[in-house]
Amino acid sequence: MISMNSQSFNNGNKLTHSANFLYSVAKFLWLV
């Protein structure tokens, strides 16, 4: 589901957005 290759690191903004999204999902699942 999650693949962190050199392509992801080339897209810093996309990587940051994905990290924030995963953090939000993890926090939501933690509360539930």
**Which ranges of 1-32 would DSSP assign to H, the alpha helix?**
6-10, 12-31
Buried b vs exposed e over 11-24: b needs ≥16 C-beta within 10 Å? eeeeeeeeeeeeee
In the chain, % helix, strand, coil (3-state, to 5) comes to 80, 0, 20
In this prediction, residue 9 carries a pLDDT of 54
**C-alpha span between 23 and 28 (Å, rounded):** 9
In this prediction, residue 23 carries a pLDDT of 92
In this prediction, residue 3 carries a pLDDT of 54
In this prediction, residue 16 carries a pLDDT of 79
pLDDT along the chain (32 residues), means of 10: 52 73 90 82
Rg (Cα) of the chain, in Å, rounded? Answer: 11
In this prediction, residue 11 carries a pLDDT of 56
